[in-house]
Amino acid sequence: MPFNEERKPINLGGTSSMISLSQVLDEVRRQRLTGENARKRDQAATKLQTWWRKICTQKSTQTQCRLLFDTDPSTLVALRSLVLLQDDVGRMLLWSTTMIKDNGLLLLKRLASDERSSWLILIRQLSIRFLKFMANSPS
């Protein structure tokens, strides 16, 4: 008979291998550590991206504040910008010089305007910052 040849046995159960409990536990532990490491890498990348965005935003804001101040140092917007610039001593000096021209008449006009409360708050903040700067560098 033509179809009476011997066939190879077929194993439908897959490869037979004996996996011990310790091997299973090691594999689970390895997978868990891999997941934890990936999560830590993602968290570190997120922190780094947040830090970088913060630095870029600060630089952009400082540049805008400098431009606003430099257009006209005698305005309320310039004073707000100066307060945001923090330790820009050159601009603090320029603002002070501008305000005391004509025996302080410009400053008195600003303090008599409708924006008096804003001027007082910002001048107080700037004065505190200036005094701290002077205390740290008495020369």
Contact 79, 119 (CB under 8 A): yes
- Average predicted confidence (pLDDT) for the chain: 88
Amino acid making up residue 68? L
Residue-wise pLDDT tens digits, 53-95:
999 999 999 999 999 999 999 899 999 999 999 888 899 999 9
Please report the pLDDT score of residue 17 as a whole number.
66
Helix, strand, or coil (residue 108) = helix
pTM over the 0.75 mark: no
Please report the pLDDT score of residue 69 as a whole number.
93
Contacts of 28 (CB under 8 A, 6+ apart): none
Q: Nearest to residue 46, comparing CAs of 38, 57, 35, 56?
A: 38
Please report the pLDDT score of residue 33 as a whole number.
95
